[in-house]
Structures are given as C-alpha cells and as structure tokens.
Amino acid sequence: MIVYDGSRRDFLESVENDTIAIDIEQNILKKMGRHTPKSEFRAWDHSMQYMYKVMNDPDIPDNADITTTYLESEVNGIIKRRRLKWNKRLYLIRLIRVL
C-alpha cells in the first residue's frame, strides 16, 4: 500500500519539517482505518531519516517521484526518474526493521 507519494523536493521538506511520519500516519488512517501505535510512528520517523540521507543527493532531480509503500512491518522507498517520455528509471530502497 502506498503511504507516501510526492516529489523528491517535497519528501526532503517533509523530513526537514518533521512531518513525514505524520503524513504517513494520516495515509494509514485514511486507507486502512486504523490508528498507528507510537512505536510504529517512531519507526517511520527514524527510517525516513535514513531515506533522507539517500535522497539528499544533488544527482537526483528535485522532480523525481518518491513513493513509499508499507507492507506489514516493512517500508520500501521507490524513486522514479523520468528521463524521456518512454524511458523511465526505477530505483528501490528497502528499509527493513530488524528485531
């Protein structure tokens, strides 16, 4: 399930403004109809800090699409960069919580 979808610039700003976990939490509530436990909220906030370090690369264009998906306790970040109308690049960043 997609819990975040926006541009690279929007993603970086959400992390810098400490609103990324709130955005994800609101999407979970909207799409799944459930509230998020505090530990899960903190895990997203923490994980997105690592994804921020990857995204904060000037070689990634500001308009690259950033999609974050949620599958049980796994969060995947996907970067889509449109090079040409018919040629797209897709990168997958997997953030796995180890217990």
Which stretch, 26-30, 54-58, 68-72, 90-94, has highest mean pLDDT?
26-30
pLDDT classification of 95: cutoffs 50, 70, 90? low
Which stretch, 23-27, 67-71, 78-82, 89-93, has highest mean pLDDT?
23-27
All structural domains of the chain with their residue ranges: 2-96
Identify the H or E element spanning 51. helix 38-55
Q: What is the pTM of this model?
A: 0.75
Are the C-beta atoms of 79 and 65 separated by less than 8 Å? yes
Are the C-beta atoms of 8 and 62 separated by less than 8 Å? yes
How far CA 79 is from CA of 33, 38, 55, 58, 74, in Å, comes to 27, 27, 9, 14, 17
Query: What pLDDT shows up at residue 84?
Result: 41
Residue 85 per-residue DSSP state:
S
